[in-house]
């Protein structure tokens, strides 16, 4: 669905942001990209939809190699919608509804269809009732939701979200994750960058770990978060549930985990229930 082969990218000031990235996301997956500040997550996403052009390597969307002529870029961006890390880079229309309508109108959809998509998208991100409001007067978390609605309204095949939950309140985070899972169940492929390891294990099918512009690990949440070498190299931490079980094991309270810690509340609950039997 989306594939990157050996991507190198340097900024004008000489910063080597990406150093030979291979990346693949298949139809219907939810993939998380994790890595510390400055690791290259946003740069990689901007390479995925052609906003930045790799110095070396190629991007493939649905098997088509991304070329950088206008037609090829438009085709790519119809399939692949990006929600930027900073909503101010995305939101610019005078009202919320005009902002969310921008994408659908650009796709040459009718006024009726656009209107339908705008209200549906705002409803799904919990921003109905804010249609006439000026985006710059919204709170940070509200802006983030409007930015997500703007991409949602275009119904892309792949939705890429750069730290979609940063700045949201806890209930807002839950709602966005629930929405992304719903969209995924409806067939949308989803790629998320995040620092929130407790959440990643709840939703991701696959996790990529990036350090200094290189992918140092990829696998299921279980494979990644039971590999302490990767966790250390990437400046990550274990999910809190895993941390708790690790401590219990280290202090001899639990045995037999074999470096296979429960990662989610559900897994932890099941393990404890089993032990208490």
Would you say 44 or 149 has its CB closer to Mg ion?
A: 44
Residue 194 as a binder of Mg ion (CB under 5 A): the answer is no
Find the Cα–Cα–Cα–Cα dihedral 12, 14, 19, 23, rounded to 10°: -20
Beta carbon nearer to ligand ATP, 126 or 167: 167
Question: Three-state SS for 106?
Answer: helix
Residue owning tokens 């302490």? 228
Least spacing, CB of residue 160 vs ligand ATP, in Å: 12
Would you say 162 and 82 are in contact if contact means Cβ atoms under 8 Å apart? yes
Query: Pick from ligand ATP, Mg ion, none: which does 259 bind, CB < 5 to 8 A by kind?
Result: none
> Least distance in Å: CB of 64 to ligand ATP?
25
Closest to Mg ion by CB, 83 or 118: 83
Residue 53 C-beta: closest distance to ligand ATP, Å: 14
Helix (H) or strand (E) holding 32: strand 30-34
Query: In this chain, which of 9, 31, 39, 42 binds Mg ion, going by CB under 5 A?
Result: 42
> What is the contact surface with ligand ATP in residues (CB under 6 A)?
11, 13, 15, 17, 35, 37-43, 85
The residues facing 158 across adjacent strands are 80, 189
- For 24, list phi and psi in degrees, rounded to 5: -145, 135
Specify the DSSP class assigned to residue 94.
Answer: S
Residues 6+ apart with CB under 8 A from 9: 16, 17, 18, 43, 44, 47, 52, 54, 55, 213
β-bridge partners, 194 = 34
- Judged by beta carbon distances under 5 to 8 A according to partner kind, the member of Mg ion, ligand ATP, none in contact with residue 13 is ligand ATP
Q: Minimum Å distance from CB 41 to Mg ion? A: 5
Judged by the rule CB under 5 A, the positions of this chain that interact with Mg ion are 41-42, 85
């Amino acid at each position: 669905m989306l594939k990157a082969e050996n991507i190198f990218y340097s900024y004008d000031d000489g910063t080597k942001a990406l150093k030979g990235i291979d990346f693949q996301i298949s139809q219907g997956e939810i993939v998380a990209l994790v890595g510390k500040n400055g690791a290259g997550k946003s740069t990689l996403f901007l390479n995925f939809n052609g906003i930045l052009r790799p110095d070396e390597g190629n991007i493939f969307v649905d098997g088509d190699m991304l070329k950088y002529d206008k037609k090829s870029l438009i085709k790519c961006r119809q399939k692949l919608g990006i929600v930027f890390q900073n909503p101010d880079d995305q939101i610019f229309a005078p009202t919320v509804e005009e902002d969310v309508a921008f994408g659908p109108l650009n796709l040459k959809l009718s006024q009726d269809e656009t209107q339908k998509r705008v209200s549906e998208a705002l409803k799904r991100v919990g921003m109905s009732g804010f249609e006439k409001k000026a985006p710059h007067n919204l709170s940070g978390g509200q802006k983030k939701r409007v930015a997500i609605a703007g991409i949602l309204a275009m119904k892309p095949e792949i939705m890429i979200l750069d730290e979609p939950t940063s700045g949201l309140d806890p209930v807002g985070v839950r709602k966005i994750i629930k929405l992304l899972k719903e969209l995924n169940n409806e067939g949308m492929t989803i790629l998320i960058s995040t620092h929130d390891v407790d959440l990643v294990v709840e939703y991701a099918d696959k996790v990529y770990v990036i350090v200094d512009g290189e992918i140092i690990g990829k696998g299921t949440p279980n494979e990644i978060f039971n590999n302490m070498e990767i966790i250390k190299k990437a400046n990550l931490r274990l999910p809190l549930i895993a941390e708790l079980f690790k401590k219990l094991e280290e202090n001899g309270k639990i045995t037999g985990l074999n470096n296979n810690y429960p990662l989610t509340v559900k897994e932890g609950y099941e393990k404890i229930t089993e032990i208490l039997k």
